[in-house]
Amino acid sequence: MADYFVGNKEYFPGIGKVVYEGRQSDNPLAFKYYDPEKVVGDKKMKDHLRFAVAYWHGFCADGADPFGAATHPHPWSIDAKSPMEAAAHKMDAAFEFFTKLGVEFYAFHDRDMAPEGASPAESERNLRTLVDKAGERQKATGVKLLWGTANLFTHPRFMNGGATNPEFGVVALGAHQVKAAIDATIALGGQGYTFWGGREGYMTLLNTDMKREKEHLARFLLMARDYARKQGFKGAFYIEPKPMEPTKHQYDYDVETVAGFLRAYGLDADFRVNIEANHAELAGHDFAHEIECAAALGIFGSVDANRGEPRNGWDTDQFPISYYETALAMRAILKAGGFTTGGLNFDAKIRRNSIDLRDLFEGHIGGMDAFALGLEVAWRMMRDGKLDGFIRQRYASFDSGDGEKFERGGLSLEELAALGSESYGTAGFTSGRQEYLENLFNQYLLGVFA
Ligand code: XUL
Ligand code: CO
């Protein structure tokens, strides 16, 4: 083994294991709500929430933006004599962080973990070497892989797309990467494999054969699925919807669009969605809307937990902090039956001017606390049943009689129309009571119904 595997330096000195201290704690490095072993309803908090850290934001992103150079210190790359050595140190830092924070999962792109080599074969070798090390670190720490993915958007060769590139050669190079990333995910026992189509879209229709590109995307995904299943992958495949950025239009626009695409190409049995809060917002939807849509369509899979800045329309990937939003999201997740293969992956980054190493901890702690409280609030609502009872009652006229007949397809339009003239003047005048429900929601949020 090369000597870049010997390092065992502490990269976050002075920060120990983050523990639960309760809501009165004034320790910024303690959990106020997230108490992993606490049972909420039928499960421990940690098993409801299944938190994951995103390798790319935590250990690769350096604070650079289109207007300025890197600002974040990366102590793991300072003394490295080669990109592979830097990658090995980065992995040590990552696993130190996962274990100190107390998350059970992480997620990564191939290029987050291993540097691109001088040829496809060398890139794959680099990945395999680092995957071996990650396997050892997983075994030693108990941290698991939520999902793996391939980065088909950073390298200049992908400027016209990955699987939807107009040049066959680039599509084939993308396949080389995806195949290796699937192998890596299987080797690490990944519970899922994600496709985020960052450049699977277009910048202008003037140079784009959209129909052909979408067919290529479907063909590519079918091939990837077949390969992974042949290799024994039992996990879930996720598509991560996003409407735009970096492309003007991304084909995986939102959950409904992805659902239609999956059905059209026979991918719906294997693929689920990985819903990101900030992407939902860019598509003009509430985060909870996307989760409920996915659940209704039977394709809810996993979540990229973050938040956007509603006034600027960028993918700012901030840590989630709004209890209102997390309570709404957790209600939708509980209604969907909770996570199976998926979890809450913090696809979130600290700000450009957050340059202390503790900032990365504090960002995650705030996000974990926000979801822990959201879970408690959502559970209180479900257990109490007032809100769900109200909704059930609102549709009660479909539970029996002609309404029930309508639901199961027992009425023709003529029969329905005849019933319509009977209900004239009486039907339709029931309040939706939104204000009452919003007030009720706030009472749950404040713990009035504990
Ligand atoms: C980009 C994004 C990605 C995916 C993984 O907006 O969310 O980081 O989560 O490729
Ligand atoms: Co994401």
Residue 302: per-residue pLDDT: 98
314-325 per-position pLDDT tens digit: 999 999 999 999
3-class secondary-structure state, position 272: strand
Whether 3 is in a domain gets the answer no
User: What is the C-alpha to C-alpha distance for residues 206 and 274, in angstroms, rounded to an integer?
Assistant: 31
Residue 450: per-residue pLDDT: 76
Mean pLDDT of 113-132: 98
Is 358 in the same domain as 402?
A: no
Separation of 399 CA from ligand 2 center, angstroms?
A: 40
Q: Is 98 exposed, middle or buried (0-12, 13-18, 19+ CB in 10 A)?
A: buried
Which of 333, 350, 384 is at the close of a domain?
A: 384
Going by C-alpha positions, the residue among 201, 344, 340 that lies closest to residue 275 is 344
Please report, rounded to a whole number, the percentage of residues in the chain having pLDDT higher than 90: 96
User: What is the C-alpha to C-alpha distance for residues 24 and 331, in angstroms, rounded to an integer?
Assistant: 25
Determine the atom of ligand 1 nearest the C-alpha atom of 57: 8
Q: 280 and 307 in contact (C-beta within 8 Å)? A: no
Q: What is the mean pLDDT of the chain?
A: 96
Is 139 in the same domain as 213?
A: yes
Task: Give 3's pLDDT tier (boundaries 50, 70, 90).
Answer: very low
Whether 19 is in a domain gets the answer no
CATH of the domain at 320: 3.20.20.150
The b-or-e profile of 413-431 (16+ CB within 10 A means b, else e) is: eeeeeebeeeeeeeeeeee
Determine the atom of ligand 1 nearest the C-alpha atom of 274: 9
Compute the half-sphere exposure of residue 336: CA atoms within 13 Å on the CB side of its CA: 30
Please indicate whether residue 109 is annotated as part of the active site: yes
Q: Is 112 in the pocket of ligand 1 (CB under 6 A)?
A: no
Nearest CA residue ID for atom 7, ligand 1: 347
Candidate list 57, 72, 89, 109, residue with the active-site label: 109
Q: Is the pLDDT of residue 7 over 90?
A: no
Residue 128: per-residue pLDDT: 98
Which amino acid is located at 131 in the chain? Answer: V
> At 201, which helix (H) or strand (E)?
strand 201-202
Is 377 in the same domain as 326?
A: yes
Query: Tokens at residue 181, please?
Result: 């990333």
Determine the atom of ligand 1 nearest the C-alpha atom of 151: 10
Is 372 in the same domain as 417?
A: no
Whether 394 is in a domain gets the answer yes
Q: Is 315 in the pocket of ligand 1 (CB under 6 A)?
A: yes
Is 148 in the same domain as 116?
A: yes
Query: Tokens at residue 388, please?
Result: 């769900």
Q: Is 110 in the pocket of ligand 1 (CB under 6 A)?
A: no
Is 79 in the same domain as 171?
A: yes
Q: Is 240 in the pocket of ligand 1 (CB under 6 A)?
A: yes
Candidate list 35, 112, 183, 317, residue with the active-site label: 112
Q: 152 and 220 in contact (C-beta within 8 Å)? A: no
Is 328 in the same domain as 237?
A: yes
Whether 188 is in a domain gets the answer yes
The pTM for the full model equals: 0.96
Which of 368, 384, 400 is at the close of a domain?
A: 384
Whether 342 is in a domain gets the answer yes
Distance of alpha carbon 58 from the chain centroid: 15
3-class secondary-structure state, position 270: coil
Query: Tokens at residue 414, please?
Result: 């003529």
Number of structural domains in the chain: 2
Which domain range does residue 395 map to? 387-445
Query: Tokens at residue 386, please?
Result: 């007032």
Is 283 in the same domain as 365?
A: yes
Q: Is 200 in the pocket of ligand 1 (CB under 6 A)?
A: no
Q: Is 149 in the pocket of ligand 1 (CB under 6 A)?
A: yes
Is 404 in the same domain as 371?
A: no
Is 392 in the same domain as 379?
A: no
User: What is the C-alpha to C-alpha distance for residues 182 and 187, in angstroms, rounded to an integer?
Assistant: 9
Q: 152 and 162 in contact (C-beta within 8 Å)? A: yes
Mean pLDDT of 57-75: 96
Ligand 1 pocket: which of 112, 240, 275, 302 to mutate (most atoms within 8 A of CB): 240
Task: Give 79's pLDDT tier (boundaries 50, 70, 90).
Answer: confident
Is 341 in the same domain as 305?
A: yes
Task: Give 449's pLDDT tier (boundaries 50, 70, 90).
Answer: confident
Is 374 in the same domain as 391?
A: no
Whether 13 is in a domain gets the answer no
Mean pLDDT of 70-78: 93
Nearest CA residue ID for atom 5, ligand 1: 196
Task: Give 4's pLDDT tier (boundaries 50, 70, 90).
Answer: very low
Tell me the ligand closest to 242's alpha carbon: 1
Q: Is the pLDDT of residue 1 over 70?
A: no
Which of 384, 411, 432 is at the close of a domain?
A: 384
Residue 134: per-residue pLDDT: 98
Q: Is the pLDDT of residue 443 over 60?
A: yes
Whether 273 is in a domain gets the answer yes
Q: Is 124 in the pocket of ligand 1 (CB under 6 A)?
A: no
225-234 per-position pLDDT tens digit: 999 999 999 9
Separation of 73 CA from ligand 1 center, angstroms?
A: 23
237-291 per-position pLDDT tens digit: 999 999 999 999 999 999 999 999 999 999 999 999 999 999 999 999 999 999 9
Whether 24 is in a domain gets the answer no
127-162 per-position pLDDT tens digit: 999 999 999 999 999 999 999 999 999 999 999 999
Mean pLDDT of 163-178: 98
Q: Is the pLDDT of residue 405 over 50?
A: yes
Contacts of 107 (CB under 8 A, 6+ apart): 52, 53, 54, 55, 145, 146, 147, 148, 149, 194, 345
Residue 66: per-residue pLDDT: 93
Separation of 196 CA from ligand 1 center, angstroms?
A: 6
